[in-house]
Every structure is written in structure tokens, then in C-alpha cells.
Amino acid sequence: MELKIQKTRKVFKLFRVNKKNEIKSLFIDNKKLLPVNEWIKAEDNKTKGFSHRPGWHTSPQPFAPHLKQDGRKWFQVEICDFVKLNRPVNQGGVWYLSNWIKIIQPVKDEH
């Protein structure tokens, strides 16, 4: 499927990262390896136990207090074809839900 980029935004997403530094989604379709610096189309994978919100979930800051950080790493990503959702502060506040994502680079640790 060809992507016609119109408006993009740089935001952040938390991914699972294994010992081989392979990147995977946190919950939905979490066995698939995700490439860096390539546009990835969101798939509509209904998963038992999860609300049906198809698309890539991202945030304007590397902040999601409702998610554990162990074995996970924040990445700067670029999104296209997105909507803004206002979520409770305890879920990070603003989310962007997008049809396309490109993983750019890991966020540097501030420690």
C-alpha cells in the first residue's frame, strides 16, 4: 500500500525491546518485529481483553504512567494520518492514534 504523506508529527511510543535489540509492540500483535526508519501501516487486530482502538498509540512526550517500563524503551517516532485523543492524566493525557508510524530512534536515558 502506498503512503501519501500529508501532515506528519514527531511523537513518542513505548515498545518492547528484547536482548537482541529487536523492537516489538507492547500488547497487540506483539510477536512481529518492527523495522526502524520505514513507514509501517497499522493493522486492525481485535484482541480479547483490549479495547478496540485500531492504529498506533503514541504520545507527545515519553510519558505513560499507567505502563510499566521493564523490558521496554521509549522511541521517537513519526506519525502520519492521525487523530488526537484526550485521555485521563493517569494514562498520559494526550494520545495520538495514527494509521502510519515510522520508528526513528530511541530516547536517550537521562540517568
Residue 82 confidence (pLDDT): 93
Quote the percentage of the chain above a pLDDT of 90: 65
Cβ atoms of 45 and 56 within 8 Å: the answer is no
Would you state the pLDDT for residue 69?
87
Asked whether the CA dihedral 12, 18, 24, 30 is positive or negative, the reply is negative
pLDDT for 14-60, tens place per residue? 999 999 999 999 998 888 999 999 999 999 988 888 888 889 999 99
What pLDDT sits at residue 108? 87
Report pLDDT for 7.
87
Write down the mean pLDDT value for the chain. Answer: 90
Question: Measured between alpha carbons, how far is residue 5 from residues 27, 69, 99 in Å?
Answer: 27, 31, 11
